[in-house]
Amino acid sequence: MGIDRRVARTRTALYDALVALIRRKDYAAITVEDILAEANVGRSTFYAHFTSKDDLLQRSLDRLRDLLVEVQQGQASSHAAGWDPARALFEHVSEYADVQAALAGGHGGAVLREAVDKVLADVLRQAMSAGPVGGLPRELAIQHVVATFNTTLRWWFEHRPEMAPAEVDALFRQLLLCGLPAESAAPFIVSADQA
């Protein structure tokens, strides 16, 4: 059963209000009252949907989950090889780069990172078959994909913010699908013939 249209409109208004406020002021300084005024929503309505400002931020990523699932299902049904969930995620992050930058380093950034990790892991759990992945525990494989995405994302924002999402997606794919050359791990891993 789908969500009631009024509920969807209210949640969208609250999500959009929070994003607008983050673009104008520090996340730590934003109050629930600010969000209510921006969204033109009453206090009881807010608390009927969310428990706090952090809960609103976390659950605003439900839209991201829906986008990833929609792209994934659309690709599966059309057998398309073009735009995929990872690329969709980089495009989405690029669209909201100013919000990401505003939240970076503070409590809001931690809330956002945790929520993105959860969305990614949930989407992967739905998409992956049960059981080991290439001989590795399934949860380890999921955490590896999430960590590789986060590492790529952080590198993008810190070192090459001008890079297009498609280019970042290509780097992510290379790291995830090809890994690093063996010699790059040499300082951390001693091979069996050296031991």
Give the integer Cα–Cα distance in Å for 19 and 78: 33
Question: What average pLDDT does range 100-105 have in this prediction?
Answer: 80
Number of domains in the chain: 2
Residue 90 structural domain: 62-180
Note the pTM of the prediction, 2 decimals: 0.77
Domain-embedded: residue 136? yes
Q: What angle, rounded to 10 degrees, do the helices at 165-173 and 85-95 form?
A: 140
Give the integer Cα–Cα distance in Å for 153 and 43: 35
Domain-embedded: residue 104? yes
Is-contact 28 106, C-beta < 8 A? yes
CATH of the domain at 20: 1.10.10
| pLDDT number for residue 77 | 56
Among 100-109, 123-132, 184-193, the minimum mean pLDDT is found in: 184-193
- Shortest CA distance to 47 belongs to which of 10, 2, 5? 10
Q: Does 130 lie in the same domain as 99?
A: yes
Give 74's Cβ-side CA count (13 Å radius).
11
